[in-house]
């Protein structure tokens, strides 16, 4: 754990190079978003236990600062690509909570009407271009979207989120090289939560920092930051986005973070050393860190409590909408296989 704290210090040094203003309005928005992600993921977990969310699900509890900070720094029209651990990144772009929870519950009001499920959340109208359940597949895909922007002179950037485990699959390395040689407007954000599924990432990776330690292989700056501090995340992301948008090419940011739950619904996470979870929850919780900062900056306790109460009420409302929603009609089983709307492959 000492090693992780030392790396957080490096992170702050990088951040000092790019001071970017964060006013209190923005801070309150980022705080609200983190609370929303926490409460809605906790609700998703509770709905599992009631067997109302079926299949699998990969929660971002503990990793809220990365999603909230990165999304807050994006412009409308920027594109998000995420993995199967994508609930938080989807919500952070403004997708309504009832559409997300509805998809997890397989209801007709779900974002994908139950055809995609937890691992494939997508909302093109919000710039959420998909959640990809094959590790690393979306890294080249994000490059392609960025190539389109470069080719057409569009001003949007592509932001691609993935975990530490992704840094050991081929498409990560192919995609990073591709982005670098074509100088694409894409930003790669690694959420290093210390575990690839069940195995500590350090046990299966040749370098200490799975993403930042590979950056130099692609001519990229090595950036590793404290992923539990949404201000640090916001500033680092904003600076990388600005660089990408102005033609400066891609960046790779490694955010040190931690997931409170297991890898997926089936994982009780017993492989963690004793005390590790308590350490992160007690000392490194992103919402606690941010709340203290807001109080120190003069924002009143009652303002924060009002946000928290409001979010909880909205989660309850979204849950009620989903519970009341019907399952999808049977006839969508065969729609949208092909562009004509159907599934016909012969005459």
Partner 1 sequence: MAELSYRDAVARGIAQEMERDPDVVFLGEDIGKAGGVFKATVGLFDQFGPLRVRDTPISEQAILGAAMGAAMTGLKPIAEIMFSDFIAVCYDYLANQYAKSRYMTNGQVKCPLVVRTANGGGARFGAQHSQSVENWCMAIPGLKVVAPSTPVDVIGLLAASVRDPDPVIFLEHKSLYATKGEVPDGEIVDELGVAKIVRPGTDATILALALMVPRAIAAADKLKAEHGVDCEVIDVRSLVPMDMQTMLSSVSRTHRLFTVEENPRLCGWGAELVSIIADEGFYDLDGPPVRITTPHIPLPATDVLEDRAIPSVDRIVETVRRSLGS
User: Which residues sit at the interface with partner 1, rule CB under 8 A?
Assistant: 79, 111-113, 115-116, 120, 122-124, 129-130, 132, 134, 137-149, 151-152, 158, 170-171, 174-175, 177-178, 181-182, 332, 335-339, 341, 343-347
Torsion angles phi and psi, residue 187, rounded to 5? -120, 125
Smallest distance from the beta carbon of 100 to partner 1, in angstroms? 14
In DSSP notation, 54-123 reads -S-----TT-HHHHHHHHHTPPTT-EEEEESS-HHHHHHTT--HHHHHHHHTT-TTSTTTTSS-GGG--B
> How open is the CA angle 13-14-18, to the nearest 5 degrees?
110
Q: How far apart are CA 337 and CA 115, in angstroms?
A: 11
Smallest distance from the beta carbon of 292 to partner 1, in angstroms? 40
Instruction: Compare residues 296 and 347 and give the one whose CB is closer to partner 1.
Output: 347
Torsion angles phi and psi, residue 128, rounded to 5? -90, 100
Q: How far apart are CA 254 and CA 237, in angstroms?
A: 11
- 281-284, long-range: CB within 8 Å, 24+ apart, which pairs? 281/62, 284/228, 284/258
Instruction: Compare residues 136 and 262 and give the one whose CB is closer to partner 1.
Output: 136
Smallest distance from the beta carbon of 142 to partner 1, in angstroms? 6
Instruction: Compare residues 75 and 336 and give the one whose CB is closer to partner 1.
Output: 336
Instruction: Compare residues 66 and 119 and give the one whose CB is closer to partner 1.
Output: 119
Smallest distance from the beta carbon of 171 to partner 1, in angstroms? 4
Looking up tokens 């690839």 gives: 196
Smallest distance from the beta carbon of 35 to partner 1, in angstroms? 28
Burial class (CB in 10 A: 0-12, 13-18, 19+), 211: buried
Instruction: Compare residues 31 and 178 and give the one whose CB is closer to partner 1.
Output: 178
Q: How far apart are CA 190 and CA 114, in angstroms?
A: 28
Instruction: Compare residues 170 and 298 and give the one whose CB is closer to partner 1.
Output: 170
Smallest distance from the beta carbon of 134 to partner 1, in angstroms? 5
Instruction: Compare residues 62 and 110 and give the one whose CB is closer to partner 1.
Output: 110
Smallest distance from the beta carbon of 338 to partner 1, in angstroms? 5
Spell out a b/e string for 154-177, using b for 16 or more CB atoms within 10 Å of the CB, else e. Answer: eebbbbbbbbbbbbbbebbbebbe
């Amino acid at each position: 754990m000492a090693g992780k704290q030392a790396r957080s210090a490096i992170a702050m040094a990088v951040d000092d190079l790019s001071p970017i203003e964060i006013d209190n309005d923005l801070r309150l928005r980022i705080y609200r978003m983190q609370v929303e992600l926490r409460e809605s993921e906790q609700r998703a977990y509770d709905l599992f236990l009631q067997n109302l969310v079926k299949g699998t699900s990969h929660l971002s509890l503990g990793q809220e600062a990365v999603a909230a900070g990165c999304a807050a720094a994006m412009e409308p029209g920027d594109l998000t690509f995420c993995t199967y651990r994508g609930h938080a990144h989807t919500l952070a772009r403004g997708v309504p909570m009832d559409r997300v929870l509805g998809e997890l519950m397989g209801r007709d009001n779900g974002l994908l009407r139950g055809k995609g499920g937890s691992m494939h959340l997508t909302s093109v109208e919000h710039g959420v271009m998909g959640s990809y359940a094959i590790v690393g597949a979306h890294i080249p895909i994000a490059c392609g979207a960025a190539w389109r922007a470069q080719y057409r002179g569009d001003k949007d950037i592509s932001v691609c989120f993935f975990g530490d485990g992704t840094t050991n699959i081929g498409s990560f390395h192919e995609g990073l090289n591709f982005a670098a040689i074509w100088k694409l407007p894409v930003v790669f954000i690694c959420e290093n939560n210390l575990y690839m599924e069940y195995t500590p990432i350090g046990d299966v990776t040749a370098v200490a920092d799975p993403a930042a330690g590979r950056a130099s292989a692609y001519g990229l700056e090595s950036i590793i930051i404290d992923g539990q501090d949404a201000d640090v995340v916001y500033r680092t992301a904003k600076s990388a986005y600005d660089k990408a948008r102005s033609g400066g090419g891609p960046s790779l940011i490694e955010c040190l973070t931690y997931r409170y739950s297991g890898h997926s619904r089936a994982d009780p996470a017993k492989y963690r050393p004793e005390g590790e979870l308590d350490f992160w929850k007690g000392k490194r919780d992103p919402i606690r860190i941010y709340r203290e900062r807001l109080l120190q900056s003069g924002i009143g306790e009652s303002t924060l409590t009002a946000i928290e109460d409001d979010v909880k009420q909205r989660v309850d409302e979204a849950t009620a909408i989903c519970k009341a929603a019907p399952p999808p009609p049977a006839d969508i089983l065969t729609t949208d296989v092909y562009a004509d709307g159907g599934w016909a492959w012969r005459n």
